[in-house]
Amino acid sequence: MAESLRFDGKVVLVTGAGNGLGKAYALAFAERGASVVVNDLGGSPSGDGRGSKPADDVVKEITLKGGKAVANYDSVENGDKVVQTALDAFGRIDVVVNNAGILRDKTFARLSDEDWDIVQKVHMKGSFLISRAAWPHMRKQGYGRIIMISSTSGIYGNFGQANYSAAKLGLAGLSKTLSLEGVKYGIHSNCVAPTAASRLTETVFSNELMHALKPEYVAPVIVYLCHDSCKETGGLFEVGGGWAAKLRWQRTEGVVLRDQNGRFTAENVRDNWDRVTDFAKYTTPSTNHEANSLIIELANKLELEEKEAKAASDSSDPVALAKTFKGKPLEFKYTERDAIIYALGVGVSTQQEGHLKLLFELSGEFEVLPTFGVIPAFACIHESTLNGIPGFEIDPTKILHGEQYLELYTPLPPSGKLTSKFQIADIIDKQSGAVILYNVETFDENNTKVAFNQFSTFVVGAGNFGGPKTSKEAIPVVDAPSRAPDAV
């Protein structure tokens, strides 16, 4: 059997430890050898009144079992006094569990200043004052564990608890910051949102649920997070009924909404809102640096592109200006039905041998024709160039599709979502018109490149601009073999 988690020689302070969750935490630490400071003001769930009995009863229960404990009856607003009790009784402070809390539930329209302030003072400011008082002692000894008791009401919000929700989510931010500042001093800070039976929930939960959600089904997580062997810090956890889970922030991949000329409008936001809120692709930043680095990197890239575009526009070279233009990425969703319709459109027939793998989605060998890779790429350039490109006014009625190059890096899936991005590789002056070369890269949902296309588009009447007659960017056309195809 694995070695049990002991707290011999450690001093643990638990606020709001006279009842419910706080009491369960205090008893759990004491059973494992810790010296415990049982803090409780002895008031009602709404914060009214005070008394010594709740804290005294818990201390008595601990000492009768051979444990060590002292009571403290101060409000957590007197953080220095609460921590001093630990120092006077046991000479040190190792663990702080900020559990004290009250409720003043009212709908937002009925919430008074007093209702707001007292909840913030107990939950948010009280946790700050207790932790600040313990901080220098933890720094000096090179060791400390701090727990902020949050709530699912803070994480997810809850009707009638605007004051409580704000305070409880604030504790998650406080804990995260303390974890960053404490790391070099051996101080860990974590935040836990328990769901448990307590004085604050007895009017909400049934008797059966009160038993299923006993505080004792939360305490072991608090104990482990505060043990020497636990390396976790900066975490946010949900715990209840013997279940525990870690939470993290998740951010959509996002989309750049400003163009190369610096234009960023509410209409751009509206037209791209589905992409802004699409969690099909996401990141999970865990630090402020991780969260901001992407934005800073993109901002610098956009600034550079804007400078390049301005420099090109200031010059007399329309090709240089056009080549600075990058089309908007376009998402293309398709199903087996789309792949089948495409196959029929290019001539696949039910009379052909092996047609089922191209025309019947339930075929065990169903596949997508490789040339289907042209479709999402074509949609991308059509979407982005319909209104023209810098330096070139394009009349859609004068466009002819020339050579087409397609390269596949992997077989296309039977259905899925692809994203294509294009850039103008070059523009060739053919006197009677201009040939625009588009390079299009297509990626799957894992951001893996699956295809590359080069479109050669002839624009009638757009020539004679003094541009190059040939381009090294053009991928040469390969003659089709004279022999019969290997497969059709």
Q: Which residues are catalytic?
A: 164
Alpha-carbon span 27 to 42, nearest angstrom:
18
Please tell me the distance from the alpha carbon of residue 83 to that of residue 78, in angstroms, as a whole number.
Answer: 9
Q: Strand locations in 15-52, DSSP E? A: 35-39
**Beta-bridge partners for 166:** none
Tokens of residue 295, six digits: 């934005």
3-state secondary structure of 402: strand
| Residue keyed to tokens 């699956």 | 450
Contact in structure between 432 and 418 (CB atoms under 8 Å): no
Six-digit token pair at 433? Answer: 């018109």
The residues pairing with 419 across neighbouring beta strands, listed in sequence order, are 331, 443
The Cα 327–Cα 260 span in angstroms is: 10
Residues 6+ apart with CB under 8 A from 254: 275, 276
Give me the helix-helix angle, 162-182 and 126-141, nearest 10°: 10
Using DSSP's 3-state secondary structure scheme, residue 282 falls into strand
Q: Are the C-beta atoms of residues 424 and 323 closer than 8 Å to each other?
A: yes
Q: What is the DSSP string of 450-485?
A: EEEEEEEEEEET---SS--S--TTSPPPPPPPSSPP
